[in-house]
Amino acid sequence: MKLDSLTILGAGIIGLSVAREARLRGLPVRVLDSRSFGTSCTHAATGVLKAPEHRRSPYLDLRHQSWEEWPQLAEQLKEESGGIDCGFRICGGLDLRDRTVQDPHRAMEKLHGSGGNVRVLDQKELKRLLPEMHREPQAGIYIEHQAVVDPGGLMEAMRRSCLGMGVEIAHDLGEISLGIEEGHRVVRSSVETPLPPIDEKNPLVLSAGWETSALINPALEKPLPLKPVRGEAIALDIPAPPHIVTFDAKLADVDDPSGNRSRFSWIPGPGGSSWFGNSVGDTGEGKETLPAPTATGRARLIEAAISFFGPGVESRIVRHWAGLRPKSLRQGGPLMGPIDTARTLWIATGHYRTGLLIGPKTAEWLVDSLTGKSEIHDNFSVPEEFRI
Ligand SMILES: Cc1cc2nc3c(=O)[nH]c(=O)nc-3n(C[C@H](O)[C@H](O)[C@H](O)COP(=O)(O)OP(=O)(O)OC[C@H]3O[C@@H](n4cnc5c(N)ncnc54)[C@H](O)[C@@H]3O)c2cc1C
């Protein structure tokens, strides 16, 4: 069906990527956000993009495709936004995780699927590359296919690109909800704003990050399988590493059978800054719906940073921030596609820890499906039991 317009709730990386993609195909697009620009989870990201080790599942394949398309996307955004550099740079990574250090050659075998150069580095090379490191790992692995992007720069480039193409973007609209009036779905906002009709020719995309569930759950029998997972990071006044450094730090208060919570990254941030974050940051403080940084999160980051840089690193923290990542609770990646049989309401969320990497690619798929070009892979579509 030929659409007349598209309305999107949520102006994070997902909402803006969908807006850009739809506008590139000629659709009139409007994006509404309840908060101000700069407060989304996307702005709290640490900007790491990694090619996965293999592509043996639809989600890993999506990550691979996204990785391959990122260099071109960065170029296009620069052109469309009038010259804004989103900071995309293939900087490579150093894997210093415990298992890797114990048996680097075995670990390296698994990494060839990432597509680039992979090689073992000895202690001498590691010391030369990372003079600030207090540890003395015997070996590590260099992985070429890892990159950084500046999340703030990316969002500004996306925003300008959208505005330049005529997308209407409205921020600070306060509480936005969905309702039904005279049998039709409507968008309600506490700030007076001209709100669009929602019907088959003018569908609505919900890309409000983890808060997408608050928008849609009142209309569902079963709540959307989505939850917020906190991530926290700090900036240090330590010279930036030449590559993204990934290592393990066993934390005193964290039981970590999967090895996820003990994994930390030291990242070359924008403008030569040093960023430091962990892979999963739930603090268990009962503040899982507040995006503010926590004392527990800070203490864990400091503990890990001390294990890497040595004592005294606490005094070198220049910023501490947090964000709530939208985690899809069913296996296999984000939740995308129509949620009602009339195909008027669409979901685009659940990108969890890889929204910057895969967000633009999934936006392309969503718009393909909206415009009838192709359907979304079963792995990523909204399961039947959660549809209206
Ligand atoms: C510390 C940290 C580090 C991360 N590092 C990386 C990384 O290195 N690489 C990577 O790929 N990903 C990373 N991520 C994950 C990435 O940030 C997320 O996957 C991504 O930002 C999710 O984007 P989103 O657009 O779904 O949500 P958001 O960016 O949160 O955008 C949702 C928007 O919806 C708005 N909204 C909420 N409710 C409503 C409503 N009712 N109506 C209208 N608007 C509404 C919000 O104000 C917000 O602007 C990281 C996240 C964190 C927290």
Same domain, 110 and 172: no
The answer, yes or no, to whether any atom of ligand 1 lies below 6 A from the CB of 326, is: yes
Same domain, 104 and 248: yes
Instruction: Tell whether the model's pLDDT for residue 284 goes beyond 80.
Output: no
Shared-domain flag, residues 258 and 307: yes
Atom of ligand 1 nearest to the CA of 357: 11
Residue 44 structural domain: 6-83+151-225+330-386
**Same domain for 64 and 37:** yes
Q: What φ, ψ does residue 90 adopt, rounded to 5°? A: -80, 105
What residue's CA is closest to ligand 1, atom 22? Answer: 355
Q: With a cut of 70, say whether residue 285 has pLDDT above it.
A: no
Q: Report the residue among 49, 211, 216, 266 best suited for mutation to probe ligand 1: largest number of ligand atoms under 8 A from its CB.
A: 211
Kindly provide the ipTM of the predicted complex, given to two decimals: 0.99
Per-residue pLDDT, 165: 98
Q: CATH number, domain at 264?
A: 3.30.9.10
Q: What is the largest CA-CA distance in the chain?
A: 72
Same domain for 295 and 337, yes or no, is no
- In short, whether 151's Cβ falls inside 6 Å of ligand 1 is no
Q: For 27-66, what is each residue's pLDDT tens digit?
A: 999 999 999 999 999 999 999 999 998 888 999 999 999 9
Give the pLDDT of residue 224: 94
Q: Is residue 290 part of a domain?
A: yes
* Statement: residue 122 has pLDDT above 80: yes
Bigger pLDDT: 359 or 285?
359
Percent of the chain with pLDDT over 90: 75
Measured between alpha carbons, how far is 132 from 115 in angstroms, rounded to an integer?
A: 29
Nearest CA to ligand 1 atom 49: 40
Q: Are residues 279 and 167 in the same domain?
A: no
pLDDT value of residue 183: 74
Which amino acid would we find at residue 169?
I
Same domain assignment for residues 65 and 159? yes
Q: Are residues 254 and 290 in the same domain?
A: yes
Same domain, 196 and 49: yes
CA of 47 to the centre of ligand 1 (A): 12
Domain identity same for 202 and 156 = yes
Pair (200, 268) in one structural domain:
no
**Within this chain, do residues 220 and 232 fall inside the same structural domain, yes or no?**
no
Number of domains forming the structure of the chain: 2
Indicate whether residue 158 lines ligand 1 (CB < 6 A).
no
